[in-house]
Structure 1
Amino acid sequence: MAASALLLAALLAAGGRGAAGREGAGGGRRQDRVPLRPLLPLQVSMQYNPGWNNSSVNLLHVRAVGPSDTLHYIWSSIGAPAVLLVATESRSSALRVNWTQLLSPAPAGAIWIDPPSSVVYSTAVVFTKVFEYSEAKTLEELFYPTYDLSDFSWDSINHTLNHTALTAEFTGVPATDPSGSFSNGSLAFRVTAYEASGRDGPLPSLLHTANSSKVEFVLAGVAPRGNSSRFVLEVATVEETGVVQRLRSARSIDDEYTPTIFEMLSLVAESQNDSSALSFLQWKATAYGSQSPRREDSIQCRSRGLQAANWTLPVSGIVHAYFGEGVGSTYTISAINISFGGEDGRVYQEKRYLSWSALLGFGQPPKDTFSPLVISIMAVALGTPMVMLLVGSCVVLFAQRKRYSEYEPIN
């Protein structure tokens, strides 16, 4: 893709005390103790801007407490929207935020988990940019000015926070919009936390575990700048050294839960020591052009390749605040482009709506299996011909034996 470069490196420039300086903070140094044992949270809670009585910025803390572990998901739209994923081996581990430092020009060290020694693994996912492009008649790709998500203005999520459904929504528009594309539209990230394993009802009906959360990227009412525009979301990850990101693609003949979609993609963080999965971002190869998606609303979704990002990226406040100054040395950044749109971009052009869902969490990503209904249908479909063949063979053999037994030789 002749896009502007995947911009991602000094996400965390200098400034302040680095979180990596705290013992075990900023991802810890104990990745050998991961993957985590299976976690079934007893309690999942959401807290908005903990310790800060102001809705001018957004920080959402999702805390999932298990029998002997705690998972922390820290979402924020301070700078580029991002989520920190931190796993601890303590039921009492807590998020600490120095708000004065976090909102200063030097936020490094403003976010940590207490006690720091309880942290066994941490990572971050950052949503950095949205590209818009269309193909010219010469088959070259024409790119429009990039939407830098760190330059967006975000609504308060406080009025969207649902403590019962465990959902929240970050909605934003560009701080400046010369083209007027967002005059009647917005961009959003919808967050869902889970207390137990299950499967979402609406398409793409992702299978989830208690060790995961869902994020839904939504473009609604945004006017395309071309007649056949397609969109690309740039996603970045932050990992400590010794952890490598790999893009996995799994194909299946089963499209029971997501009709006509046979591919699942997973961006998996693996330990270089033993290749164990530490965390993941997982999605099906489709997006949808309707708030109530059906099969015919499917929009083609492709990944544009995983790259090591060693150049500059829009700053994410919470990533800088947690990981400090170690990016590029103690921590590494990878980025991937996920594109949406068919050959002509017609679905979005007509409906002005795009929704893409992904799971993120700890350990191995969930794997779809055949449901009992599909197994029964396959058993009947494959078994019936075999039974008929067996019965037919028995009838033929019986008829032959009967014919020979009724034969009387002529003397």
Structure 2
Amino acid sequence: MYLYLADYIRREVSIELNPGLKPPSILPPDVGLVHVLGKGLNDSLHFILSNHGAPALLLVHTNSPWSTLQVDWPEFISRSSSGSLRVMPESSVVYSRAQVLLRLWEYNDPQTKAESTFYPPYELQNFTWSDLKVTQWDNMVTLCGRENTESFARGSFCLKFSAFGSAGHDKAWPSLLHNANSSQLRIWLDGVKPRGNNSRFKLELQSVGNSGFQERVVIRSSIDLYTHSIIMKMSQWVSFPINSSGVWGYSQWKPTAYLKPEPEFKDSTTCRHSELVSVSQIPPSGLVKAYFKEDSPGYGLNVSFGVTGDPFYESTEYISWTVVMGMGEPLVISFLFIFIIIVVELAIVISMEVCSCICRRMCSSGYQSID
């Protein structure tokens, strides 16, 4: 395992389903919330995932290791106003940002210069969602939804959220880096019947953050974890204060999706993202409406899966994509780090060769064992 050089942070991670909800209170269908707390020595990181409306993931960073989440459940369910979900004390909050999954677009790719034909989008806020499934031992949450249409008769749209207490990288492709300041969201579409030939999909995303922040998308070069030699591109959607270049939060992904649940390298397909645009309207997410004010700044883009020449969705009726969301600078494998690894590996190989030569010379020198 190769870790990001600057990452020595550890967090005590805990996970709770529907915090503060006490019997006999019962939530209506398609309303749920998972709170993941990463407690550090001098701060806390809160990740909140909800399927109330359009599914969303909220990150809140505080300067207190004792900050807590409070939910006014009747207000949260009704989506009537901001303030039904708070991290307390509110004075400890230093940064907040939410990522919302809005729509799933299907379009026909003509494989020529002709324009693509788009079908009516799948509005994720209108999906019927399963209960949030929590596994405590690995800090993981799974959520699946579907629309009541013929296309989704055997299909589903699913999310798998993972939180981390230390640094590392996922074993499964695309093996993105993570640390204790980040989380991972794997998204997949499985068994959905396409509405035409040559279908591809794109996912519409929107972010909402603190006032005084703006966002941009940048492309950075990194090194492939497995080969140490392939330069790959990483897409980074970063949030930073106005009149400052310092990054406070990010979403990061490799521009690659996969066509099988347990893919090999050959099962990959290219991703592309659209230009980032400013959005004035707050997204239809109960989580976002419960935490942010109506005038909070928002940004949006689309991520499309597959380009001309790649297999179409109907070839496997499966597509998956993974994104990391975190606080601070996005994680990358530095060229200096790879250089150090290569030097160490070469030193080990040379040392082994030297030892082997010495052993061969000693064995051929004619020395006799002493009885």
- TM-score above 0.5: yes
- Describe the superposition over 1:373-405 as per-residue Cα deviations: whole angstroms up to 9, x where unpaired: 96249979xxxxxxxxxxxxxxxxxxxxxxxxx
Q: Give the counterpart of 2:315 among 350, 366, 371.
A: 350
Distance 1:373 1:229, change over 3 A: farther
1:42-57 → structure 2 map (5 Å cutoff): 42-52=11-21, 53=23, 54=26, 56=29, 57=31
Which residue is equivalent to 2:131?
156
Deviation, structure 1 residue 240: 2.5
| Whole-Å separation in 2 of the counterparts to 1:258 and 1:188 | 32
Secondary structure of the equivalent of 1:224? coil
For 1:375, give the aligned amino acid: I
The answer to whether the 8 Å contact 1:259/1:295 transfers is no
Deviation, structure 1 residue 250: 1.2
| Whole-Å separation in 2 of the counterparts to 1:348 and 1:143 | 15
1:96-175 → structure 2 map (5 Å cutoff): 96-136=70-110, 139-157=114-132, 160-174=133-147
| Whole-Å separation in 2 of the counterparts to 1:304 and 1:213 | 23
1:12-411 → structure 2 map (5 Å cutoff): 40-52=9-21, 53=23, 54=26, 56=29, 57-136=31-110, 139-157=114-132, 160-174=133-147, 176-177=148-149, 180-252=150-222, 254=224, 256=226, 262-310=232-280, 312=281, 314-325=283-294, 327=295, 331-343=296-308, 346-369=311-334, 371=338, 375-376=342-343
| Whole-Å separation in 1 of the counterparts to 2:282 and 2:244 | 31
The answer to whether the 8 Å contact 2:200/2:312 transfers is no
Deviation, structure 1 residue 350: 1.4
Aligned sequence identity (%): 37
- Describe the superposition over 1:349-368 as per-residue Cα deviations: whole angstroms up to 9, x where unpaired: 11111110010010001011
Distance 1:375 1:129, change over 3 A: same
The answer to whether the 8 Å contact 1:299/1:347 transfers is no
- Describe the superposition over 1:223-244 as per-residue Cα deviations: whole angstroms up to 9, x where unpaired: 1112111111111111233211
| Whole-Å separation in 1 of the counterparts to 2:186 and 2:227 | 18
| Whole-Å separation in 2 of the counterparts to 1:313 and 1:114 | 23
Distance 1:226 1:99, change over 3 A: same
| Whole-Å separation in 2 of the counterparts to 1:286 and 1:66 | 33
- Describe the superposition over 1:328-354 as per-residue Cα deviations: whole angstroms up to 9, x where unpaired: xxx211001100013155252111111
Distance 1:366 1:338, change over 3 A: same
Larger Rg over CA atoms: 1
For 1:248, give the aligned amino acid: V
Q: Which runs of 5+ in 2 are unaligned?
A: 1-5, 348-371
Which residue is equivalent to 1:10?
none
Secondary structure of the equivalent of 1:103? helix
Using CA pairs below 8 Å that are at least 6 residues apart, which structure has the higher relative contact order?
Answer: 1
Distance 1:254 1:345, change over 3 A: closer
- Describe the superposition over 1:165-200 as per-residue Cα deviations: whole angstroms up to 9, x where unpaired: 1111110002x32xx111111001110000100111
| Whole-Å separation in 2 of the counterparts to 1:145 and 1:313 | 21
The answer to whether the 8 Å contact 1:46/1:62 transfers is yes
Which residue is equivalent to 2:369?
none
- Describe the superposition over 1:305-350 as per-residue Cα deviations: whole angstroms up to 9, x where unpaired: 111123x46510011111133x2xxx21100110001315525211
Deviation, structure 1 residue 113: 1.1
Secondary structure of the equivalent of 2:297? strand
The answer to whether the 8 Å contact 1:255/1:262 transfers is no
Secondary structure of the equivalent of 2:289? helix
Which residue is equivalent to 1:12?
none
Which residue is equivalent to 2:358?
none
The answer to whether the 8 Å contact 1:214/1:358 transfers is yes
Deviation, structure 1 residue 274: 2.5
Secondary structure of the equivalent of 2:151? coil
Taking structure 2 as the reference length, what is the TM-score of the superposition?
A: 0.84
| Whole-Å separation in 2 of the counterparts to 1:38 and 1:87 | 17
| Whole-Å separation in 2 of the counterparts to 1:289 and 1:111 | 37
| Whole-Å separation in 2 of the counterparts to 1:105 and 1:340 | 33
Distance 1:200 1:105, change over 3 A: closer
Task: Give the alignment's Cα RMSD to 1 decimal.
Answer: 2.5
| Whole-Å separation in 2 of the counterparts to 1:318 and 1:274 | 28
For 2:320, give the aligned amino acid: S
- Describe the superposition over 1:241-261 as per-residue Cα deviations: whole angstroms up to 9, x where unpaired: 321111110134656369977
Distance 1:258 1:48, change over 3 A: farther
